[in-house]
Structure 1
Amino acid sequence: MYKAYVAVEGGHVIEGRGRVPGTTPGELVFTTAYTGYEESLTDPSYEEQILTFSYPLIGNYGVRESRFESDRVHPSGVIARELTDEIVEWLSDEGVPAVDQLDTRDLVIDIREEGAMQCGIAVGEDVTEEDALEQLDACKEMSEHTDIGSKVSIEQHVTHNESGSGPTVGFIDCGAKGSIIDSLVERDATVEMFPHDATAADISAVDPDLLFVSNGPGDPENFETAESLVEQFLGEMPIAGICLGQQVVANALGGDTTKMDFGHRGVNQPVRDLRTDRVVMTTQNHGYAVSDPGEILSVTQLNVNDGTSEGLDSAEYDIITRQYHPEANPGPNDSLDFFDEVLEMVTEDKSPVIAD
């Protein structure tokens, strides 16, 4: 075992048990999910964050690659009450500093009261509190990570399910979970996946039926190229988005987004549909939200706990977005029908609406 220190915004330092050595800065956030640690740790939306698990035991059912949402662990550091040896071995292979044997209840309460905080971790045989404080000093605000898209997006165009008989989806990868791709492919869609900074010409070259903006980490205002794609293809084809994708679509169409105090991260967030009054439980992982949908989009779903926007639609322009993760993994499958709704927007006899 190693020494371990966690320095949080304001200069407070917490001592724990070091499980994986290393030093790192990151935004300190927490998830309330009690299962799905493999999916959470491989979710690109946790890039540049230090993830605290509120559930006390992490790693109790092993590590299976088939559950991964991407090809690597994305949080820059991991904190838990107790980490099993198997998950420590995985995090060690990934080079991700890890700390346990501290009171995560107090830490989560601090985050809820103070908001997501800048943080620094130092783990090792000879580390000191000052090492953790140095990492804290080096920690940047999430909005300052202007290049975060390049850290989580694919580098070149990839096709999934090339022989699919369903619609062709022009998919903008801002840090997509693999389960989103799977959910579209399971419905026999062909997914033409592009980097977050793809051009309109790149997208047009595959002649898609639908533009889809994925989830991803950080401040949506740092995904300006994805915004421009939404602007350019508005009215030419239906548009959909998940999580960061909803925020990008809203910003592109005259809306606004804001940073939340501590965000939504877990698998039990209740969402109410304003049209049907149906409430579903959802999986969420985001620190920003749409504060103003603008004039084109209408709010169709709200978070039951805090009233934030969870769904935006435009019947005129064929747009559907969701702030939560309908594909879940981990979490409930209450909202899987979102993918059916998205693909149903593509019909042969629908005439495109041309934007002014």
Structure 2
Amino acid sequence: MSDAYIALADGRVLEARARAPGRTRGELVFTTAYTGYEESLTDPSYAEQVLTFSYPLIGNYGVRTERFESESVQPRAAIARELTDDVADWLAEEGVPAVDHVDTREIVTTVREEGAMACGIAAGPDATPEDAVEEMEACKPMSDHVDIGAQVSVTEPTVHESADGDVDVALLDCGAKGSIISSLTERGADVHVLPYDATPEDVAAVDPDVLFVSNGPGDPENFVAAQEVVDEFAGDLPLAGICLGQQVITSALGGSTEKMAFGHRGVNQPVKDLRTDKVVMTTQNHGYTVADTGPLEVTQVNVNDDTVEGLDSEELDVITRQYHPEANPGPHDSLGFFDEVLDLATSSRRVAAD
């Protein structure tokens, strides 16, 4: 007898097995990653979403905190074909509902055909289908989470120092993965992490060599403060961004974004560089994309659907990526992006000095 239920916006209620009890709701999405479940479950970009794993077995190499991208589990719930006890116990300790023994192929196919949708979860000995439906009906669209940044950002400025400290980076934390920060510090940058709603004055106080806008969850149009900061410094300070950061920078510079049907989430997305004709495999997690690039040049595109994966402007000293170059757990084809960011900052300082 089932003790968990998944209610979908298309009217279906799927039966499952409860692995971590609770009731919740969120936007139903899926990831194609077959490793990196710890990184996915701690990625702040999954806030307010219910994460389905398309790979059938999740948890086969345990749970290690050194792989976490943040301090806690970020999705509202997790769905898998089979969860090991290690992962199920971890999610239960975090208070995040989790279910398995469900046909995840059916869920993935539904999302691919109908798009990301509202979802309700009810799991535990007293759960009923009606509970799951009630949760689903109370689920808000992602664009209605107008202050989602407050859930995932630091509340006070923090500094992550490198061994060398050659470059100062002001990072707007819209939900930054920890490996983005470490990728910069490992290359000699001191990273000043600022709240998602930091002001231009907050950034100026850092006196940075480059302004970096991080990844994060939700609709980029709701990150108004970050757009205002970008607008203030565009042309005067090198700009870089990853994922939501690319979208925020584009919107601030006069471009626009749009919601995708089901987004890109996984570790196997091919991206083509238009300047070199080379294709790299990338890690991705986003439900929005750039529609109008404004003054920025498209340098990279997704091989599968031609969506914008990289933007550049020599005039404005801008470089952005839609995917995740830090690439935890992999592949690591695109790690060179962080070298490009620091080269951009150094070159800009050198030009200013001349």
Superposition TM-score tier, normalisation by shorter sequence:
over 0.9
Q: CA deviation at 1:162?
A: 6.2
Q: CA deviation at 1:127?
A: 1.4
Q: Helix, strand or coil: the match of 1:146? A: coil
In the alignment, the residues of structure 1 paired with residue 283 and residue 143 of structure 2 have an alpha-carbon distance, to the nearest angstrom, of 24
Q: What TM-score does the superposition give when structure 2 sets the normalisation length?
A: 0.98
Q: Is the 8 A contact 2:289 2:307 kept in 1?
A: yes
Q: Is the 8 A contact 2:174 2:216 kept in 1?
A: yes
In the alignment, the residues of structure 1 paired with residue 69 and residue 163 of structure 2 have an alpha-carbon distance, to the nearest angstrom, of 23
Partner of 1:339: 338
RMSD: 1.1
Partner of 2:311: 312
Q: CA deviation at 1:344?
A: 0.4
Deviation readout 1:247-306 (Å, 9 max, x if unpaired): 000000000100000000000000000011010000000000001101x20111000000
Of all paired residues, the percent bearing the same amino acid is 66
Q: Helix, strand or coil: the match of 2:55? A: coil
Partner of 1:251: 251
In the alignment, the residues of structure 1 paired with residue 87 and residue 163 of structure 2 have an alpha-carbon distance, to the nearest angstrom, of 38
In the alignment, the residues of structure 2 paired with residue 25 and residue 282 of structure 1 have an alpha-carbon distance, to the nearest angstrom, of 29
In the alignment, the residues of structure 2 paired with residue 68 and residue 242 of structure 1 have an alpha-carbon distance, to the nearest angstrom, of 19
In the alignment, the residues of structure 2 paired with residue 221 and residue 288 of structure 1 have an alpha-carbon distance, to the nearest angstrom, of 10
In the alignment, the residues of structure 1 paired with residue 127 and residue 189 of structure 2 have an alpha-carbon distance, to the nearest angstrom, of 51
Deviation readout 1:18-73 (Å, 9 max, x if unpaired): 11110001000000000000000000000000000000000000000000000000
Q: Which amino acid aligns with 1:189?
A: A
Partner of 1:168: 168
Q: Which amino acid aligns with 2:340?
A: E
Partner of 1:241: 241
Partner of 1:80: 80
Q: CA deviation at 1:244?
A: 0.2
Partner of 2:131: 131
In the alignment, the residues of structure 1 paired with residue 310 and residue 10 of structure 2 have an alpha-carbon distance, to the nearest angstrom, of 35
In the alignment, the residues of structure 2 paired with residue 340 and residue 262 of structure 1 have an alpha-carbon distance, to the nearest angstrom, of 31
In the alignment, the residues of structure 2 paired with residue 86 and residue 147 of structure 1 have an alpha-carbon distance, to the nearest angstrom, of 33
Partner of 1:35: 35
In the alignment, the residues of structure 2 paired with residue 76 and residue 133 of structure 1 have an alpha-carbon distance, to the nearest angstrom, of 16
In the alignment, the residues of structure 2 paired with residue 120 and residue 318 of structure 1 have an alpha-carbon distance, to the nearest angstrom, of 44
In the alignment, the residues of structure 2 paired with residue 37 and residue 324 of structure 1 have an alpha-carbon distance, to the nearest angstrom, of 18
Q: Is the 8 A contact 2:2 2:16 kept in 1?
A: no
Q: Is the 8 A contact 1:2 1:123 kept in 2?
A: no
In the alignment, the residues of structure 1 paired with residue 239 and residue 171 of structure 2 have an alpha-carbon distance, to the nearest angstrom, of 10
In the alignment, is residue 329 of structure 1 matched against residue 324 of structure 2? no
Q: Which amino acid aligns with 2:48?
A: E
Partner of 2:8: 8
Q: Is the 8 A contact 2:17 2:99 kept in 1?
A: yes
In the alignment, the residues of structure 2 paired with residue 328 and residue 200 of structure 1 have an alpha-carbon distance, to the nearest angstrom, of 30
Q: Which amino acid aligns with 2:245?
A: G
In the alignment, the residues of structure 2 paired with residue 21 and residue 193 of structure 1 have an alpha-carbon distance, to the nearest angstrom, of 35
Q: CA deviation at 1:165?
A: 2.7
In the alignment, is residue 65 of structure 1 matched against residue 65 of structure 2? yes
Q: Helix, strand or coil: the match of 2:352? A: coil
Q: Which amino acid aligns with 1:76?
A: R
Partner of 2:232: 232
Q: Is the 8 A contact 2:4 2:123 kept in 1?
A: yes
Q: Which amino acid aligns with 2:34?
A: Y
Partner of 2:159: 159
Listed as ranges, the gaps of 5+ residues in structure 1 are: none
Q: CA deviation at 1:167?
A: 0.8
Q: Which amino acid aligns with 2:26?
A: G
In the alignment, the residues of structure 2 paired with residue 164 and residue 192 of structure 1 have an alpha-carbon distance, to the nearest angstrom, of 15
Q: Which amino acid aligns with 1:61?
A: Y
Q: Which amino acid aligns with 2:81?
A: R
Q: CA deviation at 1:206?
A: 1.3
Q: Which amino acid aligns with 1:223?
A: F
Q: How many residues in Structure 1 have an aligned counterpart in Structure 2?
A: 351
Q: Is the 8 A contact 2:7 2:120 kept in 1?
A: yes
Q: Is the 8 A contact 1:30 1:54 kept in 2?
A: yes
In the alignment, the residues of structure 1 paired with residue 127 and residue 272 of structure 2 have an alpha-carbon distance, to the nearest angstrom, of 48
Partner of 2:194: 194
Q: Helix, strand or coil: the match of 1:218? A: coil
Bigger drift between 8-17 and 38-47 goes to 8-17
In the alignment, the residues of structure 2 paired with residue 311 and residue 167 of structure 1 have an alpha-carbon distance, to the nearest angstrom, of 23
Q: Is the 8 A contact 2:2 2:15 kept in 1?
A: no
Q: Helix, strand or coil: the match of 2:143? A: helix
In the alignment, the residues of structure 2 paired with residue 105 and residue 234 of structure 1 have an alpha-carbon distance, to the nearest angstrom, of 45
Q: Which amino acid aligns with 1:88?
A: A
Partner of 1:223: 223
In the alignment, the residues of structure 2 paired with residue 285 and residue 162 of structure 1 have an alpha-carbon distance, to the nearest angstrom, of 27
Q: What TM-score does the superposition give when structure 1 sets the normalisation length?
A: 0.97
Change (3 A) 1:80 1:207: same
Change (3 A) 1:73 1:122: same
Partner of 2:267: 267
